[in-house]
Chain A
Amino acid sequence: MIRRRSFIEHVFALVAAASLLAVPTLSHGALSPIDIGAILPSTGPFAAGGEAALNALALAADEINADGGVLGHPIRLDSGDTEGRPEIARAEALRLIERDRVWAVIGGYLSEETLLVQEVAATERVLHIVPVAAAMEITDRIARDPQYRYSFRVAYNITQWAELLSDYLLDQHVHTYAFVGAAIQWNQELARDLADRLRDRGISELSRSSYSPTSPVIDPIVIALRTHPPDVVVVGDPGPDSIEFVKLARELGLGSEILSVGGALGDARVARTLPRGAYLTFQAAAWRGLTPQATRYWGAFQNRYHYLPVGYSDTLPHDALIVLAEAARAAHSIDRDRVATALAGGRFPGAAGTYAFDRSHQAMWGEGGLRGVVIAWENGEDHVIFPLRR
């Protein structure tokens, strides 16, 4: 009995000593952490994109913390899994904001999710950065209603994507193209916008095909494309079906260039498995080698996760957190109103370019701002082919 009490006393003594040693570290260290909610799909059909985004956010948080945090406050990520379902995204936003008291939220992933997260953030007056979603409604409501003034979009909208696509097709002197994608709102809007831009500029849309995202039937689309092959097939599906489309297209002998709008076909691990010699291009927000920031980001991401980023669904979430931290530093405050004002009026460098927001809080496009790129996979190797630095 005596020996047992002695043992317990020793344990208490050790714990007390450890606590005393720990106290100075905590007291002279950083200020209290700032929690940022990351509302992204970790499970469900969009989990691949969510996983990439969470990896990039963790990388950005470490970069910020290594640089002294936000005005001395370390950044801490608190994630909520949307499962790819808008109602779950809304519930997670409520949980993170009301229960966990996060300072800002980044997300969702789909436009449908993002609109609901945006509503919650507006009601609770919490800063909200849109990292990926492209629907116009997100920024339209910011321009319309001051309630949404805490929301900012670093992601490109559909108009900006269509602009990059059309510039590339014009640059390549393409005469015809076909649009293929899952039957979702994003593709329908993108296809319409692209066709409107190119109609009077000598590039014809030969066909527009969509398939069910839940049960895609791709063979007949490829057969139809083979009958009248376009110069370029624009694949507006960043999900898994785009990989199957490319494989089947090459299997059935479709020789047209396939241009993917970001997503899975930007993954080097996937590209290496695709038929050799196939001319496959994809659109991204940024790529290594274009700017020092992009090259640094690519290197850090590859060192940490042992694969290359895809230049969109990871790069923009990374920049979302960097921009948020820079805005707080510019505001010299973590007061949300002051940070929102700094975001609205400042310029913030990220891996994809310099972010400045217009009156609808959309990151601006063009000279001095974000540019976007087109990359070609040739036998598993990546090459930036547009815009060329002439």
Chain B
Amino acid sequence: MEAALQVLVSGLLTGMGYALAAIGMTLILGIGRVLNLAHGGFFALGAYAAFQTTVWGLPAVVGAAPAAAAGVVLGAAVERAAVRPIRTYPLAAAIVLLGVAILAEEGFRLVWGSTYRSVPLRLPPLLIGQVVVSTEQIGGAAIAAVALGALALFLRSRPGLALRAAAADPEIATLSGIDVGRLQTATFGVACGMAAGAGAFLSPLLTVSPTMGRVPLIISIAMVVLGGAGRVWGTLIASLVIGLLSTAVAFYFAAAWSYIFTLLVIIGILVWRRDGALGRAER
């Protein structure tokens, strides 16, 4: 029973970690109609910012705000310079962003080398009954919850309505006087900032390396596809379900099977419902 409870808590916290990485991706896909293959690069940028902060003798969390700000600025710049001119060609835009991701990896390698880097853990774990909870994971989950809450509130506001209109139909939104281009740039920048912030916050539990953005990128794509492109709550639910499922499979069967099982579930769901398991529920 204790183990089952521990699996439940760990699975949900893992899912919240996935959500933190995936929310920005779904926003960009929904509003910008672009698959941001550079998303993992921004995640790694945040982690390296946190690492560098610790090199200077400061706590890693201090690096989160500048990392997020740098993510917003760089993300917006990438969108304006590389995505906007080819936005009507989604495949070309995705390939350009893949190029940006590779450039980012090489940039990290030039500045910090290929060596694995580690950010110290900040706080001791919590013991709740017989269940041990990682304070670092709780921090990540809290950040994801705050980001989602802020997003939910924003989407109910007037600018949020414009964002939803742009996501639903960019052409009609433009005819209604909404500056869709500016919204897309802002969304791209904010989403990249979220990825960088997530990387900074989760860095103490990860190994910092130039290629560390690849796994969050793949997980984000899987969660977005499963939850439905542009559907924030769908992405959150998909993240929680997959986090829980992968943890339970690894605990009760074998850890090596977890990845295979998760992929099989995702493939099965996509074959069953092409727009994601949770796509229609949100319409």
In the complex with contacts A47-B210, A251-B136, A244-B251 CB distance below 8 A:
no
Q: Which residues from chain B contact A210 at a C-beta distance below 8 Å? A: 254-256
Tell me whether B211 and A45 are in contact (CB under 8 A).
yes
Nearest residue in A to B260 (C-beta to C-beta)?
Answer: A212
Q: Which residues from chain A contact B7 at a C-beta distance below 8 Å? A: 220, 223
A interface residue count range (under 10 / 10 to 19 / 20 to 34 / 35 or more)? 35 or more
In the complex, 19 of the A-B residue pairs with CB atoms within 8 angstroms, ordered by the A residue number, are A44-B211, A48-B114, A48-B115, A51-B114, A52-B115, A215-B218, A217-B246, A223-B3, A223-B10, A241-B207, A247-B204, A247-B205, A251-B125, A251-B135, A267-B116, A270-B117, A270-B118, A272-B120, A273-B54
Contact flags A203-241 to B (C-beta < 8 A → 1, else 0): 000000111101111111101101100000000000111
**B residues near A, CB below 8 A?**
3, 6-7, 10-11, 14, 54, 106, 109, 113-121, 125, 127, 132, 134-137, 204-207, 209-212, 215, 218-219, 246-248, 250-251, 254-256, 258-260, 262
Q: Does A43 contact B (CB under 8 A)?
A: yes
Q: Does A334 contact B (CB under 8 A)?
A: no
Q: Does A253 contact B (CB under 8 A)?
A: yes
Q: Which residues from chain B contact A267 at a C-beta distance below 8 Å? A: 115-116
Q: Does A320 contact B (CB under 8 A)?
A: no
Q: Which residues from chain A contact B204 at a C-beta distance below 8 Å? A: 247
Tell me whether A244 and B206 are in contact (CB under 8 A).
yes
In the complex with contacts A212-B259, A252-B132, A264-B116, A48-B121 CB distance below 8 A:
no
Q: Which residues from chain B contact A219 at a C-beta distance below 8 Å? A: 10-11, 14, 247, 250
The distance in angstroms between the C-alpha atoms of A267 and B205, with both chains bound, is 17
Tell me whether A244 and B205 are in contact (CB under 8 A).
yes
Rank and list the top 7 A-B pairs by shortest CB-CB distance, nearest first: A240-B207, A47-B114, A220-B251, A220-B250, A212-B259, A273-B118, A251-B134
In the complex with contacts A273-B118, A275-B121, A214-B259 CB distance below 8 A:
yes
Minimal beta-carbon separation of A195 from chain B (angstroms)? 17
Tell me whether A248 and B205 are in contact (CB under 8 A).
yes
Tell me whether A252 and B255 are in contact (CB under 8 A).
no
The distance in angstroms between the C-alpha atoms of A267 and B208, with both chains bound, is 14
Tell me whether B127 and A253 are in contact (CB under 8 A).
yes
Q: Does A339 contact B (CB under 8 A)?
A: no
Q: A48-B114, A218-B255, A219-B250 are in contact. List 16 more A-B contacts (CB 8 A).
A: A43-B114, A48-B116, A211-B259, A215-B218, A217-B14, A217-B247, A219-B10, A219-B11, A220-B248, A220-B258, A221-B250, A247-B121, A250-B125, A267-B116, A273-B120, A274-B118
Q: Does A183 contact B (CB under 8 A)?
A: yes
Q: Does A243 contact B (CB under 8 A)?
A: yes
The distance in angstroms between the C-alpha atoms of A215 and B207, with both chains bound, is 13
Q: Does A50 contact B (CB under 8 A)?
A: yes
In the complex with contacts A219-B247, A224-B251, A252-B134, A243-B116 CB distance below 8 A:
yes
Tell me whether B258 and A212 are in contact (CB under 8 A).
yes
